[in-house]
Amino acid sequence: MALRTTRTLLTRVTQPSPARQTAKTKPTTILEVERKFRRLTVPTLTDICATKNNDHYNPNFRSVLPFPTRTIHDIYYDAPDHTLCTSGGAWIRRRNGEWQAKVKRGGDFVNSRFEELRGVQEIRDCIRSILGGGISLKQEGENFGLERLAEFVTTREAWLVDGEFKVVRDRMDFGHEVGEVELQVEVPVGDAEEEKGVLIMEEMDRRIEEFMKNYAWAWECGEAVGKLTAYFEMVRRKNGGV
């Protein structure tokens, strides 16, 4: 019964009613669940569905829709003691010039659950809620009073698989590669921190796990290393670290 209720909630948020699209609707936020993988086992997912009688692609994807390849310039920011990411579970960045924040809502490194914030005021409120009076927050143009943590450029390939799962392959300009399978839903702001939001993300995670097990041939075995972890390791080696 609980699973059926959760699926009803998920259907409700992934298929907005016309009323949600009017100017008077409640503010919404994005819930994202992702599972990382090390690499794809194939050069590209494009045209995989057209491959017939190949035991390697068994079962084959039902559909694959490629997204345009993107170039992403990320600059990550944090307090001098890295409080936001280490204690607050928040990653603040400027992506191609636009402020974004990802706030952890559960899971672990490989299997992650986030709320995404895009509005400047929402991001400012998030920073204040974590840092309190520990830092003097300045104006937007001064990076909320935060320091630059990391900067790199990513080439992103992505595909919509089976009509709903976004498969991403990221290749960074410092030589690292990592992929992930994502699901996103839009929910009213208040739902993100309530039991309803937890149930929705649990169901999203279950569906991603099932999807990846079904197409296990597509993901290379081995530990997935995230972009920031790989970046800091690159910096450490460059500075002569062991």
Report residue 127: phi and psi, to 5°. -60, -45
> Of residues 240 and 235, which shows the higher confidence score?
235
> What is the mean predicted confidence (pLDDT) over 37-62?
91
Q: How far is the C-alpha of 29 from the C-alpha of 192, rounded, in Å?
A: 7
Architecture of domain 2-10+40-238: Beta Barrel (2.40)
SS3 for 60? coil
Cβ–Cβ < 8 Å for 176, 227:
yes
Summarize pLDDT for 101-135 with one digit per residue, the tens. 999 888 776 778 888 998 888 899 999 899 886 55
Helices (H), the chain: 2-14, 83-86, 120-131, 195-214, 227-238
| pLDDT at res. 21 | 45
**Cβ atoms 226, 112 nearer than 8 A:** no
The packing angle between helices 195-214 and 2-14, to 10°, is 90
CB atoms inside a 10 Å sphere around CB 5 = 12
The SS3 assignment for 239 reads coil
Q: Give the residue, 200 or 195, on which the prediction is more confident.
A: 200
The neighbouring-strand residues paired with 87 are none
Position 118 scores a pLDDT of: 86
3-class secondary structure, 55: helix
Q: What is the pLDDT of residue 133?
A: 63
Which of 2, 174, 148, 169 lies closest to 75, judged by CA? 148
Closest C-alpha to 117, from 90, 96, 86: 90
